[in-house]
Amino acid sequence: MFIKQLYTGCLSEAAYYVESEGKAAIIDPLRDIDAYLQLATERNANIQYIFETHFHADFVSGHLDLQKATGAPIVYGPNTDTNFPIHLAKDGERFQLGALSIEVLHTPGHTLESTCYLLRNASGKPYAVFTGDTLFVGDVGRPDLSSGNLSKEELASLMYDSLQQKIAPLPDDVIVYPAHGAGSSCGKNLGPETYSTIGEQKQSNYALQPQSREEFISAVTDGLALPPQYFPINARINKEGYDSLDAILQKGLTPLAVAAFKERMKDDNMILLDTRKASDFTLEFVPGSISIGLEGRFAEWAGSLLPFDKPILLVTETGKERETVVRLARVGFSQIEGYLEGGVQAWKAAGEPIDMIIDVEADELAMDLPYDKNLVIVDVRRETEFADGHIRGALNIPLSEMTDPGNLANFDDHQNLYVHCAGGYRSVIASSLLKRQGIHNFRNIVGGWGAISQQPGIEVVKENSVLN
């Protein structure tokens, strides 16, 4: 038996490679499938099955490209309806994988088709369960992404039954392999570990504690933040199908000289995306660019902030072009038109204008705050982060809401804006969005709240009504 978790940090996503006697299965593959094919080749194994736990909302699965590459069937659980051929498994159905078997456990709740896969060893004993978004370490999948016409309360009720009847009865030593870890928006508060055991989760996971159906529904549905706007788009893509990644790469990796790049920029619908590090972007960038650096939760913020129906041009660090296109494709972007050959340096060498963002240290803010009557703090952290501590009088505009021009319309030219997030990544994205809206009278605070909170003399307040 060989099991490998392939974890992708920027999406907090775990795919799995399971193998026995030269036969392998892939569970919840990402769109870029090379890692799975390479692993199978290195281990002289053949991929026999592609198991999907549900229609993923936070990334585009690699099931279709992997099926084309291997001929392996795509397996979904009951209540699944797709626009492409699948093996529609029955609850309790078993698939032989060498000396192992994989049993289908239909566990609706996160979505109607949500399914866990129980791996049994050669003697038939339960060994591990791949829980998808049904059970995480310390949490469960959110029930508000919906399938069909059910409410989040109705889906939560189904999840209660799934956990009580299918998951909780498993032996305590069964390993839990979920589809996501900390940072994922598919749950409320996932733990830092990426695997656990049934016994550990019975002790520590609030969703597996003894409680009534009503108590469970309340616990699971209370305090849910709005899901990222791209979630329904990705779920639809996974259900209906998509263009091959090779086709997207072929177009997206078109190098464009400065003149050709400028010509493409004349399209009013064109999105100019700069994926260099935030610290490099603030020093110099092509005017009109949106900064979303590869060093952060790139794909998630791209999916949350960029339109899917508009073409994209890229400015990247040299050598990062392919990585950028792949990571955009993971969340469903397909209209990538090419990249600026030679990057910002080529743009400057051609005599083209550049823009910049003024960075300031937290101590400069501390000095200006008592005296500048036109100073406005713009805090772009999430509402709960803001509530847990912020500068008195600060304006909270979460980054996810900054693509709405209405949220930026009330700034006056005489105001001096100071923009910050938790550490500096999101505030640079926010700064680039402010620039695109024609707002230039602002400064980006390097180090964000982490640096600000260390400054003496800055009054910090909390919003206990939000935290409670």
Arithmetic mean of pLDDT, 422-438: 96
Instruction: Report the largest interatomic distance among the alpha carbons of the chain, rounded to a whole angstrom.
Output: 75
Provide the mean pLDDT of the chain. Answer: 95
With a cut of 90, say whether residue 396 has pLDDT above it: yes
Closest by CA position to 114, among listed 138, 136, 94, 84: 136
The fraction of the chain above a pLDDT of 70, given in percent, is 99
Distance between CA atoms of residues 47 and 40, nearest Å: 7
Distance between CA atoms of residues 433 and 405, nearest Å: 10
Q: Which residue has the tokens 């919840």?
A: 28
- Residue 378: both structure tokens together: 């713009």
Q: What is residue 466's predicted lDDT score, i.e. its pLDDT? A: 60
State the pLDDT confidence band at 383, using cuts at 50, 70 and 90: very high
State the pLDDT confidence band at 146, using cuts at 50, 70 and 90: low
- Residue 460: both structure tokens together: 């910090």
Q: Which residues pair with 120 in a beta bridge?
A: 101, 126
Q: What is residue 255's predicted lDDT score, i.e. its pLDDT? A: 98
Q: What is residue 35's predicted lDDT score, i.e. its pLDDT? A: 96
Q: What is residue 89's predicted lDDT score, i.e. its pLDDT? A: 98
With a cut of 90, say whether residue 148 has pLDDT above it: no
Q: What is residue 36's predicted lDDT score, i.e. its pLDDT? A: 98
State the pLDDT confidence band at 465, using cuts at 50, 70 and 90: low
CATH class held by domain 359-467:
alpha beta
Q: In which residue ranges of the chain is CATH 3.60.15.10 found?
A: 2-231
Q: What is residue 463's predicted lDDT score, i.e. its pLDDT? A: 84
- Residue 218: both structure tokens together: 């309340």
Q: In which residue ranges of the chain is CATH 3.40.250.10 found?
A: 243-349, 359-467
The fraction of the chain above a pLDDT of 90, given in percent, is 90
Q: What number of CA atoms fall less than 13 Å from residue 164's CA on the CB side?
A: 12
For residue 206, give the DSSP letter.
G
Distance between CA atoms of residues 348 and 351, nearest Å: 5
Distance between CA atoms of residues 153 and 141, nearest Å: 13
With a cut of 60, say whether residue 88 has pLDDT above it: yes
With a cut of 90, say whether residue 107 has pLDDT above it: yes
> What is the chain's length?
468
Q: What is the 3-state secondary structure (H, E, C) of 341-364?
A: CCHHHHHHHCCCCCECCCEECHHH
With a cut of 70, say whether residue 147 has pLDDT above it: no
Q: Give per-residue pLDDT as tens, 326-362.
A: 999 999 999 999 999 999 999 999 999 999 999 999 9
CB distance 159 to 132 below 8 Å: no
State the pLDDT confidence band at 182, using cuts at 50, 70 and 90: very high
SS3 content of the chain, % helix, strand, coil (to 5): 30, 25, 45
Q: Helix or strand or coil: residue 285? A: strand
State the pLDDT confidence band at 163, using cuts at 50, 70 and 90: very high
Q: Helix or strand or coil: residue 273? A: strand
Backbone angles phi, psi at 366, to 5 degrees: -60, -35
Q: What is residue 318's predicted lDDT score, i.e. its pLDDT? A: 96
Q: Give per-residue pLDDT as tens, 58-69.
A: 999 999 999 999
CB distance 306 to 331 below 8 Å: no
Q: What is residue 467's predicted lDDT score, i.e. its pLDDT? A: 53
- Residue 160: both structure tokens together: 């209660």
> From the CB of residue 228, how many other CB atoms can be counted at a distance below 10 Å?
20
Distance between CA atoms of residues 378 and 24, nearest Å: 51
With a cut of 90, say whether residue 410 has pLDDT above it: no
2-231 fold: Metallo-beta-lactamase; Chain A (3.60.15)
243-349 fold: Oxidized Rhodanese; domain 1 (3.40.250)
Q: Helix or strand or coil: residue 57? A: coil
pTM: 0.92
With a cut of 60, say whether residue 97 has pLDDT above it: yes
